[in-house]
Amino acid sequence: MGLENYIYGRNSVFEALLSNSRKINKVLISKNTSNDVKINEIISLAKEQGVVYQFVPKEKFQSFTGMPHQGVVAMVSPVEYTNFYEFLEISKKEKDKKYSKLIILDGIEDPHNLGAIIRTAVCAGYDAVIIPSRRNAQVSATVEKTSAGAINHIPLIQVNSLSNVIDKLKDNDYWIIAADAHGKDNYFDIDYTDMNFALIMGGEETGVSRNNLKKSDFIVKIPMLRDFNSLNVSNAASAIIYESVRQMIQTKNHSV
Amino acid sequence: MGLENYIYGRNSVFEALLSNSRKINKVLISKNTSNDVKINEIISLAKEQGVVYQFVPKEKFQSFTGMPHQGVVAMVSPVEYTNFYEFLEISKKEKDKKYSKLIILDGIEDPHNLGAIIRTAVCAGYDAVIIPSRRNAQVSATVEKTSAGAINHIPLIQVNSLSNVIDKLKDNDYWIIAADAHGKDNYFDIDYTDMNFALIMGGEETGVSRNNLKKSDFIVKIPMLRDFNSLNVSNAASAIIYESVRQMIQTKNHSV
């Protein structure tokens, strides 16, 4: 079991127990951990859910040196991805009630960016995050930590071909919006309240791939007010995602 | 000269040379670096500016193991902070022309967040970033790298007392806006186009300090559409900062 199959830190372990979405095999708690409120909450939750927990000497945590464990780790099964086609079937039934909003990541390399974007998608009430199985960071312990546990609060969909998924989404009445520095419109000139959409954010160095740009219905840019190249990709995602939230709340056309 | 006094990586070294805002003593380039476009640009710029550069065997880079150097480092003087009072004097003269927009960071611990926020402030055309000299990440090589070189494109002001600085800003016709989960208004319900303002973003764990919240004219929140605690602080900053940009561009009341 590699380091990737642990969840590190009080908040992350707590969130994983609370959401109950991942199989936790065991929680390890350092004996040196002070009698902390969060630790007590973790123990209560573990008891409640029949999860084994164990107090261990701090030497046991030496193999986690460099990870932000704060004296608590959970041994877990790898993240369970949601199947794209099952997701689509379920959301078809729900679409009568509200519009669906997805994020597609196309080549994000930095796990910190992946974690931050998933976290923002959760906060903004988006319905799923889609990542390709190659040429993109996968959901690891670092991603879980950076997401502050948010990965347990949203369907994560891993797919082999983004291109096929985009086609399928278009067949299912989704509009595709790509973020690109050479976009025609400013991102805030799009009306996000009136459609199902998937927002594609591209990799740190490469941006959205040419093929996926071609398939997009809108290509939007974030205006740069100084002669400087671009935002960090998670900050760019946040600006666009929260613009969609602003529109939905301010226009009150749609339930959020 | 500690590791903090180097700039790592092709883009960061290039930006530092281009902006010419920091004294670069020497650029080291690994002999193993392929004949890369960016490296050639770095060499041209160094020649132009009379900066010494040197090809060194890759063994020389062993002391930078773990840093994202990509075969290029620049030895630099530590970042030069701008003096708050000098900044205020200069911006007084400029304020007739346009409103001034500042970011104040109150306890940001993660250098990646600091770098990302500085980068977003640059892209959004803000006028300065103010950080306290204690209990906040300082501008290091990691921050420079994460900012993609943006730290060289905006005044960075380091101060001993945020509290005094906030008082002084208020005396100088700035409005103080703090971001806080318990804020009264949504961040997009404030009109950012019609005032000089300083936006305070608080630390990852602690938020904006109570004393600084008390001094604020507005406390704004970012709406959470799921039962989840909060955004990453750099993503939160981006949502608010770019809302101010959106308002300025869409209302066209002010030059940007």
How far is the C-alpha of B141 from the C-alpha of B152, rounded, in Å? Answer: 12
**Mean pLDDT across the stretch A134-150?**
86
Asked if residue A1 has pLDDT above 50, the reply is no
Contact A243 B242 (CB under 8 A): yes
Q: Are B254 and B98 in contact (CB under 8 A)?
A: yes
Q: Which of A226, A227, A248 should be substituted to probe chain B, the one whose Cβ sees the most B Cβ atoms within 10 Å?
A: A226
CB B168 within 8 A of CB B194: no
**Tokens at A87, concatenated:** 């997701």
Distance of alpha carbon A174 from alpha carbon A168, whole angstroms: 9
Q: How confident is the model at residue B33 (pLDDT cuts 50, 70, 90)?
A: confident
Give the best residue of B101, B232, B252 to mutate against chain A (max A CB count within 10 A): B232
Partner residue opposite B235 with nearest CB, options A230, A235, A256? A235
Mean residue pLDDT across chain A = 89
pLDDT greater than 70 at residue B256: no
Chain A, nearest residue to B236 by Cα: A238
CB atoms within 10 A of CB B83: 13
- ipTM for the complex shown: 0.76
> At residue B213, does pLDDT exceed 90?
yes
**Cβ under 8 Å to B: A residues 160-189:** 186, 188
Residue B99 has pLDDT above 80, yes or no: yes
User: Of A15, A118, A231, A256, which to mutate for an interface test with B (greatest number of B Cβ within 10 Å)?
Assistant: A231
pLDDT tens, A217-242?
999 999 999 988 899 999 999 999 99
Whole-number pLDDT of residue B69: 87
State the pLDDT at residue A96.
Answer: 65
pLDDT at B179: 98
Distance (Å, rounded) from C-alpha A106 to C-alpha A207?
8
Can you tell me whether residue B32 is helix, strand or coil?
Answer: coil
B56-71 average pLDDT score: 84
- Residue B219 or B134, more confident: B219
How much is the pTM?
0.77
Q: For chain A, say whether B56 makes contact (Cβ under 8 Å).
A: no
Is there a contact between B236 and A238 if contact means CB atoms under 8 Å apart? yes
pLDDT at A117: 98
Instruction: List the single residue in A with minimal CA-CA distance to B234.
Output: A235
Instruction: Summarize pLDDT for B142-181 with one digit per residue, the tens.
Output: 888 889 989 989 999 999 899 999 999 999 999 999 999 9
Percent of chain B with pLDDT over 70: 93
| Averaged pLDDT, A174-190 | 96
- Provide the shortest C-alpha distance from residue B53 to chain A (in Å): 25
Tell if the CB–CB gap between A225 and B256 is shorter than 8 Å.
Answer: yes
pLDDT of B101 strictly over 80: yes
Of the listed ranges A72-76, B31-35, B202-206, B229-233, the one predicted with least confidence: B31-35
Q: What 3-state class would DSSP assign to A186?
A: strand
Q: Above pLDDT 90, what percent of chain A?
A: 61
Average pLDDT of span A54-62: 86
* Predicted pLDDT at B1: 40
Domains with residue ranges and CATH for chain B: 3-76 (3.30.1330.30), 84-251 (3.40.1280.10)
Q: Does pLDDT of A2 surpass 70? A: no
- What mean pLDDT value characterizes chain B? 89
Is B66 in the A-facing interface, judged by CB distances under 8 Å? no
Across the interface, whether the CB atoms of B231 and A120 are under 8 A apart is answered: yes
Q: Do A223 and B245 touch (CB under 8 A)?
A: yes
User: Over 80: is that where the pLDDT of B116 sits?
Assistant: yes
Residue B4, pLDDT > 70, answer no
Name the token pair of A17: 């127990």
pLDDT in tens, A82-114: 999 999 998 887 766 789 999 999 999 999 999
Highest mean pLDDT among A59-63, A108-112, B93-97, B199-203: B199-203
pLDDT of residue A254: 47
Structure tokens at A188: 């805030």
B30 touches A at CB < 8 Å:
no
Chain A positions touching B116 (Cβ under 8 A) are 232, 234-235
- For B255, the closest chain A residue by CA position comes to A225
- A66 touches B: beta carbon within 8 Å: no
* CB proximity B25 to A under 8 Å: no
pLDDT for position B96: 65
Pairs across A and B, CB distance < 8 A: 110
Among the partner-chain residues A150, A226, A239, the one whose CB lies closest to the CB of B239 is A239
Look at phi and psi of residue B243 and say left if phi exceeds 0, alpha if psi is from -120 to 50, else beta: alpha
**How many CB atoms lie under 10 A from the CB of residue B21?**
14
| Interface residue B236 vs chain A (CB under 8 A) | yes
Mind listing the pLDDT tens digit for each residue in B241-252?
999 999 999 986
Nearest to B188 among A146, A224, A246 (CB): A246
- Note the pLDDT tens digit of each residue in B133-144: 888 888 887 888
In contact, A134 and A162? CB cutoff 8 Å:
no
Q: Is the pLDDT of residue B254 over 50?
A: no
Is residue A45 over pLDDT 70?
A: yes
Give yes or no for a contact between A110 and A207, defined as CB atoms under 8 angstroms apart. no
Q: Is the pLDDT of residue B71 over 60?
A: yes
8 Å CB contact of A153 and B228? yes
pLDDT at position A212 over 70: yes
